[in-house]
Structure 1
Amino acid sequence: MTTPVAAHRPLIHHTGFWYFPVAFVARLPFAMMTVGVLALVVAMRGSVALGGLTSAAVGLGVVVAGPVLGDLADRFGQRRVLVPVGVANGILLAIFPLVVANAGADALLLSAAAAIGLTGPQTAAMSRSRVMALIGDRVDPARRERTFSRAMAYESAADETAFVIGPFVVGVLAALIAPWAPIAGAAVLSFVFVTAFALHPTGRAVPERSARAAMAPFRELVHPRMLVLVAAVFGVGLFFGSTLTSLTAFMEAQGAPEAGALLYGVMGVGSAVLALAVAALPVRFSLRWRLVAFSIVLTASAGAYTVGGSVATVTTVLCLMGIGVGPSLVTLFSLAGNRAPRGRTASTMTILASALTLAQALSSAVTGAVAESVSVQTAMLFPAVAALLVLAMAALNASAAPRWDAVTTAADTGVAAAHAAPGSTPSSR
């Protein structure tokens, strides 16, 4: 049972100082493997097309396995899932350079890449689940909402920072050592840090197996109140993938293709900073209206991006896009955390993460094909289309959220009363 003294202590007291650094580094294998696989296949096989297919196979594996791993973690605990998954992922990454070096059938290469995706450690989703459980169980009720907002802001900023640093590390290791070095580095990180994250004491914060009787049915995950958030996150993923690919094509037309990732980093870093700043917003600025406001900023700046122009103009617009996309992503995950069906927190977070990954992969492939076969200007329209999807889902959510959340709160109150037991605390909505 939560004691009054423990309840008034900050979240860092309940997680321990090393939790957040370990959880952040444990995200990097996931952020490195798609880009690392692409770079390795292109370097060793000399085929961009095959490299793209291999990278897509990794993404497909992640999307297929994500919801399954989340459901298993909700049922049996994160340790029992993450330890074998992290070890398997490390082994598959370690042997992947040998598979690429073998000039055998492409089917074997694609199968190995899909296996890497299937065992991709869903550290970010699991971290959100743990932090949410700790806040619900051990933080003083009067401080939960603000603590939750800050924690979700940090988690989203950590995700974006990892996805900026990951490709950068891949490029540095490949340039300074060899094309296989990024994959080897990701394997080591998966072995060490994913395992350390899995075994961290915060893993006990998630419900034990005996709590499965109180788990909401799977159909709650496909309720419209959840699907609208999945669709919005999918739109954010489309935005990320189309922006990176179209920006790369734009800079290639300027004669500096290597600068595309650097400029994308400008947006990513700004987005991460603004994501953290969301925690400072007043509570009366509700999540549903935050999503509308930030998606409007995103759509307007993405519209300006379609005009293109000079490198300086595009850089300025990218900064504005970061103002919209980072806070939008934080708000979406915060809404998902509030609405996560009973006992399905990890499932909810992995579904959203999988939607983000799938959208990035699809939009990267489509945008790249359009940039090459049609024009760069046409490809630069895609981020605006993605932003419009986010805005549409934000508007739908704003109109229906009062009804959806009222029903959810009433249902959870009834269940909490029926299942209340010593040591359990109803989650704050």
Structure 2
Amino acid sequence: MTQTVEKPLPSSAPTLLRTAGLPYFLIAFVARLPFAMMVVGVLTLVVSARGSISLGGLNSAAVGAGTACFGALLGAAADRFGQRRVLLVLAAANAAMLLAFAVVAYSDAPDGAVLVAAFGIGATAPQVAPLSRSRLVTLITERMDPARRARTLSSTMAYESAADETVFVIGPFVVGLLASAVAPWAPLVGAAALTVLFVGAFALHPSGRLVAAARGADGRAPSPVRELFRVRLLVVVVGIFGVGTFFGTMLTSLTSFMADRGLSEQAGLMYGVMGIGSAAFALGVALLPARFSMRARWATFSAILFTGSLLLLLVEDVPGMIGALALIGVGIGPTLVTQYSFGATRSPAGRTATVMTMLGSGVIVGQSLGAAVTGEVAERAGTHPALLLPVLAAAIVAAAGAVNWFLTGAGSESR
């Protein structure tokens, strides 16, 4: 396998922006959008075509299940064979599954067939965000001066998390716009077109040929697979699963909260209060002093997230909900940045893409599962019980942060 990684450059070398190129960041940003549209697009289409909110929630969960089963395996394949080949196959397969799902949902096929198609969407999803992180981590660790790596890595994880937050706010908005302006199938057709064009462009970008220097000539990693199951790495996976679960439970319970007030169409705008704040504070992580350690950041910001979630149980009106969401945004963005930073520094040699897709899968699985469970609770028991679920999700994030505090120890952030 062709090695394209160079030796670290001197301190006068170009910044990461110049090294990767502005087009890379633009392509990588748009290429994330289909992934952000899938879960909501599937839910919207099934509810319209089959007339069942419950079935819609199950299909959203099936998308997450497909990602859970295959996400990390696809990351391992990208590590082994290179991102370009893997992404080109996935772009074609995922676009086909999105179109097939729309056809099956409107057909006379049994509900089981719709669930299988939803699982296929998740199984073939090109996880651009984790693979982008993997590429940039490779550039930082192997093409930049060691003195600049820590600060650049922190800034990059901050940007990547802010980009994720932004597309996960834009994604549901685009789905709603296309579904209302064209038809319920339009979001998935649009996602298929974006996948072919922009995931394909992301795959063909020159950085898609990068191979970690730790990889052998045959593409094999020097680290054993068991290194992926170290407790220090698994606690990060659990923590980021909690964040994904919070996203799913929060959006669904917020929708129920707004529907009770006859304002269900404004749920997306309300969710944007949290998303915009989260993205802004995620970017702000790069400005934090080095003495504010990563383990302290996780513990601190997850505590803020948990506190904000407790306020949800006291909210009785829209202004109160806005205040709670604003506080939650302060906590959740920096927490996500810190978790990805831990994932990058704790990745076994030559397995960065695998770890990043493990974390990316954790987010989407948590989101899908959280949305499905919260939808059932809201439908059967009402909004207040549904608002308990974001609190539980935030508790998972905070508990994982506490465990990480003791596992990390002072001065051992990278282990």
Q: How much has 1:110 moved relative to structure 2?
A: 1.6
Alignment of 1:15-414 (within 5 A): 15-207=20-212, 210=217, 212-402=219-409, 405=412
What amino acid is aligned across from residue 43 of structure 1 in structure 2? S
Give the structure 2 partner of residue 427 of structure 1.
none
- Which blocks of at least 5 consecutive residues in structure 2 are unaligned? 1-5
Show structure 1 runs of 4+ deviating over 6 A.
none
Q: How much has 1:209 moved relative to structure 2?
A: 5.9
- Which blocks of at least 5 consecutive residues in structure 1 are unaligned? 410-429
Q: How much has 1:211 moved relative to structure 2?
A: 6.0
Quick check: 1:308–1:380 contact (8 Å CA) kept in 2?
no
For residues 220 and 250 of structure 2, the distance between their equivalents in structure 1, rounded to whole angstroms, comes to: 44
Quick check: 2:222–2:349 contact (8 Å CA) kept in 1?
yes
For residues 152 and 116 of structure 2, the distance between their equivalents in structure 1, rounded to whole angstroms, comes to: 43
**Greater CA deviation, 208-217 or 53-62?**
208-217
Rate the CA distance shift 1:386–1:53 in 2: closer, same or farther, 3 A: closer
Quick check: 1:70–1:346 contact (8 Å CA) kept in 2?
yes
For residues 7 and 215 of structure 1, the distance between their equivalents in structure 2, rounded to whole angstroms, comes to: 31
Provide Cα deviations, 1:32-51, integer angstroms capped at 9, x if missing partner.
11211111122122222222
Q: Percent identity?
A: 50
Provide Cα deviations, 1:85-140, integer angstroms capped at 9, x if missing partner.
11111122223322222112222222222111111011011000000000011111
For residues 15 and 109 of structure 2, the distance between their equivalents in structure 1, rounded to whole angstroms, comes to: 55
Quick check: 2:128–2:199 contact (8 Å CA) kept in 1?
yes
Quick check: 1:6–1:138 contact (8 Å CA) kept in 2?
no
Rate the CA distance shift 1:179–1:386 in 2: closer, same or farther, 3 A: same
Q: How much has 1:206 moved relative to structure 2?
A: 2.7
Rate the CA distance shift 1:139–1:100 in 2: closer, same or farther, 3 A: same
Secondary structure at 1:121 match in 2? coil
Q: How much has 1:369 moved relative to structure 2?
A: 1.8
Secondary structure at 1:380 match in 2? helix
Rate the CA distance shift 1:319–1:300 in 2: closer, same or farther, 3 A: same
Quick check: 2:60–2:372 contact (8 Å CA) kept in 1?
no
Give the structure 1 partner of residue 3 of structure 2.
none
**Greater CA deviation, 128-137 or 251-260?**
251-260
Rate the CA distance shift 1:99–1:48 in 2: closer, same or farther, 3 A: same
Quick check: 2:44–2:184 contact (8 Å CA) kept in 1?
yes
For residues 139 and 281 of structure 1, the distance between their equivalents in structure 2, rounded to whole angstroms, comes to: 21
Quick check: 1:225–1:404 contact (8 Å CA) kept in 2?
no
Secondary structure at 1:85 match in 2? helix
Q: How much has 1:58 moved relative to structure 2?
A: 1.5
Task: Provide the aligned C-alpha RMSD in A.
Answer: 1.7
Rate the CA distance shift 1:99–1:342 in 2: closer, same or farther, 3 A: same
Quick check: 1:156–1:330 contact (8 Å CA) kept in 2?
yes
Provide Cα deviations, 1:371-404, integer angstroms capped at 9, x if missing partner.
2222311211221222122111111111120389
How many matched pairs? 408
Provide Cα deviations, 1:30-88, integer angstroms capped at 9, x if missing partner.
11112111111221222222222222222211111101101111111101111101111
What amino acid is aligned across from residue 141 of structure 1 in structure 2? P
The normalised TM-score by structure 2 is: 0.94
For residues 252 and 341 of structure 2, the distance between their equivalents in structure 1, rounded to whole angstroms, comes to: 28
The normalised TM-score by structure 1 is: 0.91
For residues 334 and 59 of structure 2, the distance between their equivalents in structure 1, rounded to whole angstroms, comes to: 32
Provide Cα deviations, 1:329-374, integer angstroms capped at 9, x if missing partner.
0000001101111111111111111111111122222222222222
